[in-house]
């Protein structure tokens, strides 16, 4: 395998010198390992890095990183990038005063996307999702979790998961697949929710488990969607088939979603816009990763998850884009992180850890991704000429990523 050496890098952020992949909590979220005037040597994995005074003089390929900073690729632990069509008409309706819930109740929202997806050929779904994957790579993303949930029929949910599997096979991005058949109740089951839930638990889940089509099972546990008891039932069925939980919770109401997620040992509970002290206390006594999605608060004009309060209470958090057509039509991690700094009052170091090592934990890939560590995947990016990490979120909206390597392979922009 050919080796590459990048010399004269202004600063490398996110280094750990040993196999310290620990989840960062509370005040630890402010700690970011940095070396200035540095080099990195890699093949598909990181071989070594350090100050220029220790720089080796040999490699198959030598590059100059002057003026750039180097960061581990972002770990985006919550997305829905397989979808059909778009929903800008709903965006305009919301600007005119309609709420997300009103639009959903009148058959828009997730059901609108499901109707479009059911009419779309899998090859077209794949083509569009692949394009979105390349888009997020250009923003610096090196690992991403992708959910189903716009199919809502056996055939369409399985098609979505097969598209995700194809993306895994054809990309250098590390991908985790999540089954979200319980995203909404399809119209035709409105009068008999249990009939659809039976299809999810007795038809979809067993097929998905047998064919290894998903790593996790998710449920949208919220007012107007799935109740706590329904969520508990679905997650238990999934656990019996070997699928761990991830959950959409407390976006629209204080739904009890956090508690049912923790009860089912969820890897992460995501959204959290409407949580209080009780949920924060429960999270402190669990290994579940609280994951906030600032784009949703920005785009739907709803409260932000209380991340400042959560970190000050000693919790660690992950941050993700939730890239989807309804509540976050953006997969730009740095823009999302800038929103988190400005609106949640998080520091650049805190959002950095939330989007790298803690995001890796939310996908259980902390041993291979999320930091600059010898032996981890060579998945990182060099920026354009910016002075430091804070500048990235200060000059928000610009794409500062110049070159990105995933598993040591440079990606075309
Ligand atoms: O994470 N909240 C539930 N699901 C998605 C949005 C779904 C949609 O509106 O299409 C989310 O926000
Ligand atoms: Fe989501």
Among 76, 79, 80, name the best residue to mutate to test ligand 1's pocket (greatest count of ligand atoms within 8 A of Cβ): 80
Q: What is the pLDDT of residue 413?
A: 63
Instruction: Give per-residue pLDDT as tens, 1-27.
Output: 899 999 999 999 999 977 689 999 999
Dihedral sign (CA 221, 225, 228, 233): negative
Confidence bin at 255 (pLDDT 50/70/90)? confident
Given a cut of 90, is residue 377 above it in pLDDT? yes
Average predicted confidence (pLDDT) for the chain: 97
Tokens 């650049």 -> residue:
348
Between CA 132 and CA 82 the distance in angstroms is 8
- Rounded to whole angstroms, the maximal C-alpha distance in the chain is 71
Task: Using the atom order of ligand 1, give the atom closest to the CA of residue 113.
Answer: 10
Q: What is the pLDDT of residue 242?
A: 97
Task: Using the atom order of ligand 1, give the atom closest to the CA of residue 326.
Answer: 9
User: Across residues 343-370, what is the average pLDDT?
Assistant: 98
Ligand 1 atom 11: residue of nearest CA = 327
Q: How many CA atoms lie within 13 A of 166 on its CB side?
A: 16
What CATH superfamily is the domain 4-72+370-410? Urease, subunit C, domain 1 (2.30.40.10)
Between CA 119 and CA 124 the distance in angstroms is 10
Structure tokens at 106: 């009148």
Instruction: Give per-residue pLDDT as tens, 36-48.
Output: 999 999 999 999 9
CA dihedral 339, 365, 160, 328 (to 10 degrees): 0
Confidence bin at 189 (pLDDT 50/70/90)? very high
User: Across residues 254-271, what is the average pLDDT?
Assistant: 97
Q: What is the pLDDT of residue 113?
A: 97
Task: Using the atom order of ligand 1, give the atom closest to the CA of residue 112.
Answer: 10
Given a cut of 70, is residue 137 above it in pLDDT? yes
Q: What is the CATH architecture assignment of 74-361? A: Alpha-Beta Barrel (3.20)
322 ligand 1 Cβ < 6 A: yes
Q: Which residues of 354-389 are buried (b: 16+ CB within 10 A; e: fewer)?
A: bbbbbbbbbbbbbebbbbbbbebbbbbbbbeebeeb
Q: Nearest 5°: phi and psi at 90?
A: -70, -35
User: Across residues 314-324, what is the average pLDDT?
Assistant: 98
113 ligand 1 Cβ < 6 A: yes
Domain boundaries, the chain: 4-72+370-410, 74-361
Surrounding residues of ion ligand 2, Cβ less than 5 A: 322
Q: What is the pLDDT of residue 153?
A: 98
Structure tokens at 350: 């805190």
Helix (H) or strand (E) holding 52: none
Name the pTM for this structure. 0.98
DSSP annotation string for 107-144: T-THHHHHHHHHTS-HHHHHHHHHHHHHHHHHTTEEEE
């Amino acid at each position: 395998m050919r080796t590459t050496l990048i010399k004269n890098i202004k600063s490398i952020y996110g280094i750990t010198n040993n196999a310290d992949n620990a989840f960062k909590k509370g005040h630890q979220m402010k700690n970011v390992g940095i070396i200035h005037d540095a080099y990195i040597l890699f093949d598909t994995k990181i071989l070594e890095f350090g100050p220029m005074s220790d720089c080796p003089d040999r490699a198959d390929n030598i590059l100059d990183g002057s003026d750039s900073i180097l960061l581990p690729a972002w770990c985006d632990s919550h997305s829905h990038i397989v979808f059909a069509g778009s929903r800008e008409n709903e965006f305009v309706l919301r600007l005119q005063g309609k709420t997300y819930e009103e639009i959903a109740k009148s058959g828009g929202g997730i059901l609108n996307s499901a109707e479009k997806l059911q009419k779309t050929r899998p090859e077209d779904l794949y083509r569009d999702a692949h394009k979105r994957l390349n888009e997020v790579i250009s923003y610096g993303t090196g690992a991403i979790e992708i959910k189903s949930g716009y199919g809502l029929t056996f055939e369409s949910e399985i098609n979505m998961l097969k598209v995700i599997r194809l993306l895994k096979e054809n990309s250098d991005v590390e991908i985790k697949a999540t089954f979200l058949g319980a995203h909404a109740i399809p119209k035709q089951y409105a009068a008999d929710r249990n009939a659809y839930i039976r299809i999810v638990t007795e038809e979809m889940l067993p097929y998905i488990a047998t064919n290894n089509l998903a790593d996790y099972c998710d449920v949208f546990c919220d007012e107007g969607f799935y109740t706590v008891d329904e969520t508990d039932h679905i997650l238990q069925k999934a656990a019996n088939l070997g699928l761990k939980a991830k959950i959409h919770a407390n976006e629209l109401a204080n739904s009890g979603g956090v508690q049912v997620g923790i009860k089912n040992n969820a890897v992460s509970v995501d959204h959290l816009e409407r949580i209080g002290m009780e949920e924060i206390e429960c999270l402190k006594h669990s290994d579940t990763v609280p994951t906030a999605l600032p784009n949703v608060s920005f785009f739907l004009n709803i409260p932000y998850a209380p991340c400042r309060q959560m970190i000050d209470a000693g919790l660690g958090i992950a941050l993700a884009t939730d890239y989807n057509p309804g509540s976050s039509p953006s997969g730009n991690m740095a823009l999302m992180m800038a929103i988190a700094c400005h609106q949640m009052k998080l520091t650049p170091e805190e959002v950095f850890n939330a989007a790298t090592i803690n995001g890796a934990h939310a996908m259980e890939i902390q041993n291979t991704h999320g930091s600059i560590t010898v032996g981890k995947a060579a998945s990182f990016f060099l920026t354009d000429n910016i002075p430091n990490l804070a500048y990235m979120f200060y000059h928000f909206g610009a794409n500062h990523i110049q070159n990105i390597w995933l598993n040591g392979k440079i990606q075309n922009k």
